[in-house]
Structure 1
Amino acid sequence: MATGPNGSVLVLTNPHDVTTDVVLRILADRQVPVVRLDPGTDLHTSAALTATYRTGDQRGTLRTPSRELDLTEVRSVWTRRPSPFEGPPGLGEQERRFAASQSLWGAGGILASLPGAHYVNHPWNNRAAEYKPAQLAAAQRSGLLVPGTLITNDPDQAREFATQQTGGVVYKPLWNTPYKADGQAQQVWVREVRPHEITAAVAACPHLFQAKVEKAFDVRLTAVGNRLFAVRIDSPDLDWRQRQSLMECTSIAVPDRVARSVSAYLSISRLAFGAFDFAVTPTGDWYFFECNPNGQWAWQPDSITDSIAHAVADQLENGPEA
């Protein structure tokens, strides 16, 4: 049942994911067999997935237009950016909703339970690690510095917290929920908030408020197994993602204490990959903001992007010891 050194790499992502292409070119150069699948769409068109279970035996096949893959011979699975399970087009709303849920629990369950495969990352671990409260708890357990943070739907508690933060407080969304205003897509950025701006609307849902960190610069640290790749980000904005054309990225060394804590964080969250965001103060303290278990990384300087791509390829080819 265990996979051999020549097993295929199964990549779960959508067809527009150009970050995946960077790694797949490396695997192709190494002559590592790869099967790319977008289960949310391909299983409604050109692909078929089958699994059988009986005492002492588990088998399965994935058929695509170009090949048939024995699921017991998958050496690793890269869970990148697959499309959501939405059901096949052409069905009525109720039938499509039913098909979508069956696909999630059926196909999603099969692809998350391949015997002997190494996952980068396992989809269930990805989902669990996306909850910001879980991230903050894991960061504390790992020994990382965490800014004072309040998550609440109580406006009074929020105003009291904001009043107590002498250096200011910021608001952050707990999830990057699609949002439109007048039909135009909007992005909710991190922004500074004053106590008097906190209204009764906070009661509608939990809000995350955090003590503003006096930062000299930001850091994006990409962890692939035990290999760390960090860039210093200098930006005029509180949230550097807002105007990426104005930011400057340069490679930076990771302090040993931070490196040990990042390793502990990955272990606690059962991740092989993580994209960490830090703020570094003028005195050199690294404050943890978040860890995206499936964060983008190909936007970084070419040398860093190339190093991360090779590290991911190593994980997919050789497993967790790469």
Structure 2
Amino acid sequence: MREVADRVSSLRPLVVLDAAGVQRIPFVVSATRLGVETTNGHGAAHIQDAHRGWIRRPAPADWDVGMRWGSKQAAVQGAWRTLLVSLLRNPACEWLTSLDALLAAENKIVQCRTATGAGIDVPPLMVTNDASEVSSLPGPLVAKPLGPPQYWLEQGDPRIVFAAPVDPQDPSVAELLAGAPFILQERVRAVRHLRVVTVCDEAWAFQILAEGIPLDWRRSVAAHTSWRPLKAPDIEQRAVDLSAAMSVRYSSQDWIETESGTYFIDLNPGGQWLFLPDPEASQISAAIAHWLQG
């Protein structure tokens, strides 16, 4: 967020908000007014006059860690979130990705269904709690979380749920399926992992070789700094087409290249890009800022 905000002209009023930050600034909201203090010293801003907006993350990642549902704290934070959502649903503002499109695009089943409908190859997958259905999937399998990919322990330590290989013949599969909905998907053998970032009709592709890194490359610290730019016009265009089909004008997508073809894996409508190399990462930041300025 700071990377983009710093690129927005100081001559333009800028407002930066999230569910925690809105509590610390003067605001007034009514049926005809949406007024908040600007971030860059332009005084009060009337959000109903807002030109364009970008939803990066509505609340800090750990904002509700340790909160007990049904508690007074939950009610208070729910009220702040409701206030923020009323601002994000300002019909006068054009959003890089609207709130509804953002929420829909975070659903991996919706992503894969949309990609398949657009003629993009996706490894066969299913979500089921019936272990007998698993045998209908081809080849070795991988399990991925359908819901949030991270959670916090009671001590406040974060945990990430990585993609993991699954043996469909293992008796523990039935227990896994009963615990929570997981995506079971054919495990394709990667030659290269691809990260494709889209902003409107532009795309930037990056690659890392799959040899020597885990099934889920995020497990490798080295992998985060090993990405290299890739000229892949066909994949870039398919990534732009997919983001357009999902009504998201920013996306961070994961693809896998195998010896027999390239497959779409995942789309994050608010994903990270600053771990990718420059100058391309800076170009992505500049493209978002340029769009915000119209």
Same fold judged by TM-score > 0.5? yes
Aligned equivalent of 1:196 = 169
Aligned equivalent of 1:303 = 279
* Structure 2: distance between partners of 1:49 and 1:125: 27
Give 2:15's aligned amino acid.
V
Aligned equivalent of 1:5 = none
Give 1:170's aligned amino acid.
V
Identity of aligned residues (%): 22
| Alignment pair present for 1:170 and 2:111 | no
| Alignment pair present for 1:50 and 2:24 | no
Please state whether the residue corresponding to 1:271 is helix, strand or coil: coil
Over the aligned positions, Cα root-mean-square deviation in angstroms equals 2.6
Q: Which runs of 5+ in 1 are unaligned?
A: 1-19, 54-58, 88-92
* Structure 2: distance between partners of 1:185 and 1:107: 25
Q: Residues 4-153 of structure 1 correspond to what in structure 2 (within 5 A)? A: 20-28=1-9, 31-38=11-18, 40-53=19-32, 59-63=33-37, 67-83=43-59, 94-115=71-92, 117-153=93-129
More divergent stretch after superposition (103-112 vs 185-194) = 103-112
* Structure 2: distance between partners of 1:314 and 1:147: 36
Deviations 1:262-300 (A, max 9, x none): 3332222111111110001124x2200011000000000
Question: Are the counterparts in 1 of residues 15 and 37 from structure 2 also a CA contact under 8 Å?
Answer: no
Q: Which runs of 5+ in 2 are unaligned?
A: 65-69
Distance 1:317 1:182, change over 3 A: closer
Distance 1:42 1:50, change over 3 A: same
Please state whether the residue corresponding to 1:196 is helix, strand or coil: coil
Give 2:162's aligned amino acid.
W
Superposition TM-score, scaled by structure 1 size: 0.79
Which residue, out of 254, 276, 283, partners 2:232? 254
| Alignment pair present for 1:180 and 2:153 | yes
Q: CA deviation at 1:113?
A: 1.7
Deviations 1:225-273 (A, max 9, x none): 00000101224221111113245211112243x3443333222211111
* Structure 2: distance between partners of 1:183 and 1:112: 32
Q: CA deviation at 1:221?
A: 0.2
Question: Are the counterparts in 2 of residues 190 and 239 from structure 1 also a CA contact under 8 Å?
Answer: yes
* Structure 2: distance between partners of 1:51 and 1:111: 14
* Structure 2: distance between partners of 1:22 and 1:186: 26
* Structure 2: distance between partners of 1:183 and 1:78: 29
* Structure 2: distance between partners of 1:183 and 1:199: 30
Superposition TM-score, scaled by structure 2 size: 0.86
| Alignment pair present for 1:215 and 2:215 | no
> How many pairs does the alignment contain?
281
* Structure 2: distance between partners of 1:128 and 1:52: 27
Aligned equivalent of 2:202 = 227
